[in-house]
A and B are shown apart, each in its own frame.
Chain A
């Protein structure tokens, strides 16, 4: 892992999905250091600890499952958006197997940046990750760029 690489926070409780997602991130060459957390509480604890440090390194992007043990993806999202610090502006992408309209609407209500349904095949997952890399790591300008560079 390179020193200057941005960090991608992956919050995913399903171990198989976590492995396959990390593999596809590597395969398409997303230029980021992946930190994998397994539930909502871990995510909140991690983010609280990071923001309280001096010279905090905020994630460039959070890729989070919707249904998580202990604290759901929605609750973590809500917590993030309620923070007074820069963390409240970090882009969050929900990656869920649910295409239930209620879930999608609620995620956007709580301020998700994008809602993606987990693809059924490896090929579809790889092409989704390619789009994600191009958009979030090359085209999009993040608010935390200013503080980092």
Chain B
């Protein structure tokens, strides 16, 4: 009963109640060492956090001077006394430093010492709160070591106004300043005068502040005044209350890459200019051949036309020899016309695009034969399944030229027979052969055959412009193929064209 009364009495005093709650709270704190010192620095109370941190029990430590927690060197320097003096004078002292546990091991401590006075201002003692920051310090150290060991990146920090607050070895290597030289200076020092004038540094910080990030490339200036092309990333640093405390800045020297890119760009530009020039030259050539075809052929048409008209309308009144002359005029102008046409075609083949499509061979051969060689002995012996990739009008022109040659160069008294075959060759090509039974070609003439204006025979014997095979060669090569000939004088010739094989449709 007495106990109950006593308890009730205690509970009824608000001050006592308050102190009891406070004690329970301090007692329950395990992560902080919280204890009291008397005015001389002797330990007067101890909590479980203090025991956990410093390994002393309350019995062991209460009554001892708090300097037992300090390393020898700091005791020699009178650091503990100094800390108490400061706290006694200004009310509070905060520090970070090494402290010693009971077992002699060290830990990195954050220490806050607070002055305690009575209502008259008399010093009663000090409250001391100690936290173990060994882990955090190790992490910071690792981070600092990491940052400092980075040589290829300049990593440094700025305060909220842009003044340099830290500097790593990479920054020193890239920008040339030592930490002593640059810490405390404004980071606009690194900018070119033009960029600084234009307000670039302010804009960079503003963007980083507002968007949480700035990334860019640009010219920066080293200590020696030389410039380098840099890639930079700026990130704002915020404290726990999301207040801006500064910026971290990572800069890379990418001058070499920039040079390469510039070089590449210049090459590209040069190439573009060259291409444009060639396109213009091509367009001029196209315009030139166009006017040739128009202007050169108009008088030819007139020569042929009037010679024919003269023969037909006034033939009766002419001497016999005159008609022969007129026929020669007509023949010559017809030949000239064909020459101009073939030359233009040859020139065009060198310039124009020849878009490739899938061409089934047999239908194309049937069409070419029907349109140009109907009634003649031209036989396509081509499997229906074979198709090539090429430009159909050009391939048709090649067939016309090869087949007309095969028919033209016949042996006297032997009716021409032309066969066309097609075979898949090993390397994805199709070889199309035009085989004749004509006069054949001597081996020493074979090399000249595909050149422009090469003729092996007199114009009277075998008429032609000397351009037909040159068109075959250029055409097949422009379509990604090639051509050739095998021949035996007196037996016949085989002209072949190889073109890329088309996939099955």
Contact = CB atoms under 8 A, between A and B. Distances in A.
Contacts, number: 47
A14 B258 CA distance: 63
A98 B297 contact: no
A120 B294 contact: no
B290 A120 contact: no
A13 B334 CA distance: 23
B294 A122 contact: no
A76 B299 CA distance: 25
Contacts of A97: 293-294, 297-298, 301
A98 B294 contact: yes
Contact of B290 (A19, A100, A118): A100
Contacts of A121: 304, 308, 334
A120 B337 contact: yes
Nearest to B299: A16
A122 B308 contact: yes
Interface in A80-117: 97-100
Contacts of A100: 290
Interface in B438-466: none
B322 interface: no
Interface in B321-378: 334, 337
A16 B306 CA distance: 8
Interface in B301-322: 301-302, 304-306, 308-309, 312-313
Nearest to B304: A121
Contacts of B337: 120
B297 A120 contact: yes
B298 A14 contact: yes
B301 A17 contact: yes
Q: Name which of B306, B313, B334 has the most chain A CB atoms within 10 A of its CB.
A: B306
Interface string B142-174: 000000000000000000000000000000000
A19 B305 CA distance: 10
B301 A16 contact: yes
B244 to A, nearest CB: 66
B496 to A, nearest CB: 31
Interface string A109-138: 000000000101111010000000000000
B309 A20 contact: yes
Q: Name which of A19, A20, A23, A120 has the most chain B CB atoms within 10 A of its CB.
A: A120
Contacts of A16: 298-299, 301-302, 305-306
Contacts of A125: 305
Interface string A20-38: 1001000000000000000
Nearest to B312: A122
A6 to B, nearest CB: 25
B302 A23 contact: no
A17 B302 CA distance: 7
Nearest to A118: B301
B316 to A, nearest CB: 16
B305 A67 contact: no
A23 B298 contact: no
A85 to B, nearest CB: 33
Contacts of B293: 97-99
A122 B302 contact: no
Contacts of A98: 290, 293-294
A23 B309 contact: yes
Nearest to A14: B298
Nearest to B305: A20
A120 B304 contact: yes
B301 A120 contact: yes
B301 to A, nearest CB: 6
A4 to B, nearest CB: 28
Q: Name which of A14, A20, A97, A122 has the most chain B CB atoms within 10 A of its CB.
A: A122
A23 B334 CA distance: 20
A118 B299 CA distance: 12
A20 B302 contact: yes
B286 to A, nearest CB: 9
Nearest to B308: A122
Contacts of A14: 298, 302
A121 to B, nearest CB: 6
Q: Name which of B300, B301, B302, B309 has the most chain A CB atoms within 10 A of its CB.
A: B301
B206 to A, nearest CB: 57
A99 B305 CA distance: 20
Contacts of A122: 304-305, 308-309, 312
Contacts of A19: 306
A11 to B, nearest CB: 16
18 contacts: A14-B298, A14-B302, A16-B298, A16-B302, A17-B302, A19-B306, A20-B305, A20-B306, A20-B309, A23-B309, A23-B313, A67-B294, A98-B290, A98-B293, A120-B337, A121-B304, A121-B334, A123-B308
Given A14-B302, A97-B301, A123-B308, 10 more contacts: A16-B298, A16-B302, A20-B305, A23-B309, A98-B290, A120-B297, A120-B304, A120-B334, A122-B308, A125-B305
